Amino acid sequence: MKFSTGNLKQISLGIWLILLISSIPLFVPPASEPKSNQIIRIMTYNIHQFYVADYVSTTEKTGRYVFEELLKVIEAANPDIIGLQENEGLRLSSGNQNGVLWLAEKLGMHYYYGPPTSAQIYGEAILSKWPIKEQEWKQLPSPEGIERGIARVVIDSPFGELLVFNTHFEIDRFKTAQREQANFVVEYVGGQKAIVLGDFNTRADQNDEAYHILYSAFTYGLVEAGFHPNATIGFSSPATDPTHKIDYIWLTRGHWTAVPNSYKTYGNPDASDHLGVLIELEMKQ
């Protein structure tokens, strides 16, 4: 079949128009959900670069993407604010996919992407049901291991401005980096009223110095919700058989009241190698 270049120009123009029309829904901001109660739900979740966490032999790895599974977990938890870690999908190794945008659109939430892809950090995004007024990220000190970051947002909620941080510390074997990163976070948050979310890769049962730095500076959400810090509640890793806590919600001291027994985990191994951790906080309008 022969076409004139004019026909192909029309086809190209057609594709362009489709692209333009397809872009329009993106401009529609998600609606802010009016709160009918005085409780907000805060969650932290390491989403393992959108891959299912199949820790099996090389021949059995599936490499299956888990966008739908993650969406189900988050929908079930129904957080008002969620901090994601390992959300950097715009890498060729992750299939060049903007999962943060996809999740935010599906959940009807505002979002801050966190460190840019060029920073080559695994990602710390923050999603919120309410508009994000301010946003920034900083690189954490990384004397060993890879680059790590922390995202900071100010959220315009019906209860006033909420300051939220989200971070992802260095892995277990780099203790020096963890310690410096914990000190940095404590200093960065300062005396402000804030919520600090993240995968801190640091454990109380190993007597990690970074854990003690954080525990000394902030109130552990688990404790604020009425549990003993060593309670088995809040085990988030590995998702197949959660035996330890590395994902935490920290609250600045004296600023927050948690709903009793509201510290919970959500998720399953089909969604991530971590479970998400959630807390409910009582708010005054």
Residues lying near other proteins in the complex (CB under 8 A) are found at 1-9, 11-13, 15-16, 18-20, 22-23, 26-27, 29, 49-51, 58-65, 67-68, 88, 90-102, 105-106, 110-111, 113, 115-118, 120, 122, 134-137, 145-146, 171
Q: How far is the CB of 85 from other proteins (least distance, A)?
A: 15
Minimum CB distance to other proteins smaller for 90 or for 155: 90
Of residues 116 and 229, the one with the C-beta less far from other proteins: 116
Q: How far is the CB of 156 from other proteins (least distance, A)?
A: 13
Q: Which residues contact 248 (CB under 8 A, 6 or more apart)?
A: 44, 196, 197, 198, 200, 214, 220, 221, 222, 234, 277
Cβ at position 159, least distance to other proteins in Å: 23
CB of residue 172 vs other proteins: minimum separation in angstroms?
A: 9
Distance CA 178, CA 183 (A): 9
Residue closer to other proteins by CB (options 36, 58) is 58
Among 259, 258, 234, 253, residue whose Cα is nearest residue 244? 234
Q: How far apart are CB 102 and other proteins at their closest, in Å?
A: 5
- Residue 123 vs 221, nearer CB to other proteins: 123
* CB closer to other proteins, 37 vs 93: 93
Q: Distance between CA 32 and CA 35 in Å, rounded?
A: 9
Q: What 8-state DSSP symbol labels residue 59?
A: G
First and final C-alpha spacing in the chain: 67
> What backbone phi and psi angles, to 5 degrees, belong to 247?
-100, 125
Nearer to other proteins, 116 or 160 (CB): 116
Distance CA 110, CA 65 (A): 23
- Strands 247-252 and 218-220 come out as antiparallel
CB of 3 to other proteins, least distance (A): 5
Whole-Å CA distances, 26 to 5, 16, 91, 101, 110: 32, 16, 22, 10, 12
